[in-house]
Chains A and B, each alone.
Chain A
Amino acid sequence: MTGYVLRRLLQSAAVLLGVSVLVFAIMQLVPGDPVRAALGTRATPETYAALRERSGLDDPVLVQYLDWITSALRGDLGVSFRSGETVSSLIVERLPATLSLAVGAIVVALLIAVPLGTLSALRPRSPVDWFSTLTSQAGLSIPDFWMGIMFILIFAGTLGWFPSAGYTPLLEDPVGWAHHLVLPAITAGVSSGSILTRFVRSSVLEAMGQDHVRTARAKGMRARDVLRWHILRNALVPFVTVGGVQLAYLLSGVVIVEFVFAWPGLGQLAFQAVLDRDYPVLQGAVLLFALVFLVVNLVVDLLYARLDPRISYGSGR
Chain B
Amino acid sequence: MSALLSVRDLAVTFSTPRGPAHVVGGLDFDVEAGRTLAIVGESGSGKSVSSLALLGLLPDAVTRVSGSAVFDGAELIGRSEEQLRHVRGAGIGMVFQDPMTSLNPVLTVERQLAEALRAHGRVSAEAVRARSVELLDDVGIPDAAARLRAYPHQLSGGMRQRVMIAIALAGEPRVLIADEATTALDVTVQAQILELVARLQDERGTGVVWITHDLGVVAGIADHVVVMYAGRCVEEGPVDALYARPSHPYTRGLLESLPVLDDARPAREREALTTMPGLPPDPVDLPPGCAFRPRCAYRLDPRCATQVPPLEPVAGSVETHRAATFYRLPAAGDAQVRR
Contacts and interface: CB of A to CB of B under 8 A. Distances in A.
A–B interface present (Cβ within 8 A): yes
Interface of A: 210-212, 214-223, 225, 229-230, 233-234, 237, 307-310, 313
B180 to A, nearest CB: 12
A215 B164 contact: yes
Contact of A214 (B81, B102, B168): B102
Contacts, number: 86
A211 B101 contact: yes
A220 B104 contact: no
Select the residue from A211, A214, A219, A234 with max chain B CB neighbours within 10 A: A219
Interface string B102-120: 1111110000000110011
A210 B115 contact: no
B49 to A, nearest CB: 12
- Please give me the 7 A-B residue pairs with the lowest Cβ-Cβ distance, nearest first: A220-B89, A220-B88, A211-B101, A212-B104, A220-B119, A219-B116, A218-B94
B252 interface: no
Interface in B114-154: 115-116, 119-120, 151, 153-154
B81 A220 contact: no
Contacts of B90: 220
A235 to B, nearest CB: 11
B102 A215 contact: yes
Contacts of B167: 215, 219
Given A220-B87, A221-B119, A233-B107, 5 more contacts: A215-B104, A216-B115, A219-B171, A220-B116, A309-B105
Given A233-B107, A237-B106, A218 B57 contact: yes
Contacts of B28: none
Contact of A234 (B93, B106, B119, B164): B106
B245 to A, nearest CB: 36
Label chain A's interface by main secondary structure: helix
A219 B153 contact: no
A234 B88 contact: no
Nearest to A126: B61
B96 A308 contact: no
11 contacts: A211-B96, A214-B96, A215-B103, A219-B88, A220-B85, A220-B119, A221-B89, A221-B119, A222-B85, A308-B105, A310-B151
Interface size class of B (residues with CB under 8 A): 20 to 34
B107 A220 contact: no
Contacts of B93: 218
Interface of B: 52, 55, 57, 81, 85-90, 93-94, 96, 98, 101-107, 115-116, 119-120, 151, 153-154, 164, 167-168, 170-171
Nearest to A123: B61
Nearest to B98: A211
B96 A220 contact: no
Contacts of B168: 218
Nearest to A124: B61
Given A219-B116, A220-B89, A309-B153, A229 B105 contact: no
Contacts of A211: 96, 98, 101-102
Contacts of B105: 212, 234, 308-310
A309 B89 contact: no
Contact of B119 (A212, A222, A233): A222
A45 to B, nearest CB: 68
A160 to B, nearest CB: 47
Contacts of B171: 219-220
A212 B93 CA distance: 14
Contact of B120 (A216, A217, A220, A309): A220
Contacts of A234: 104-106
Contacts of A217: 57, 88
A212 B81 contact: no
A223 B81 CA distance: 9
B102 to A, nearest CB: 5
A214 B107 CA distance: 15
A218 B106 contact: no
B116 A212 contact: no
B332 to A, nearest CB: 43
Nearest to A307: B106
A313 B120 contact: no
A220 B86 contact: yes
A309 B149 CA distance: 12
Contact of A229 (B52, B86, B115): B115
Nearest to A313: B153
Nearest to A222: B85
A211 B107 CA distance: 14
A310 B103 CA distance: 13
A218 B88 contact: yes
A310 B104 CA distance: 11
A217 to B, nearest CB: 6
A215 B167 CA distance: 9
Contacts of A212: 101-105
Contacts of B120: 220
B104 A225 contact: no
A212 B151 CA distance: 13
A237 B105 CA distance: 11
A12 B119 CA distance: 45
Interface centre among A214, A215, A222, A310 (most CB of B within 10 A): A215
Nearest to B55: A218
Contacts of B88: 217-220
Contact of B107 (A210, A221, A223, A229): A229
A210 B55 contact: no
B232 to A, nearest CB: 24
A308 B105 CA distance: 7
B48 to A, nearest CB: 11
Nearest to B94: A218
Nearest to B108: A309
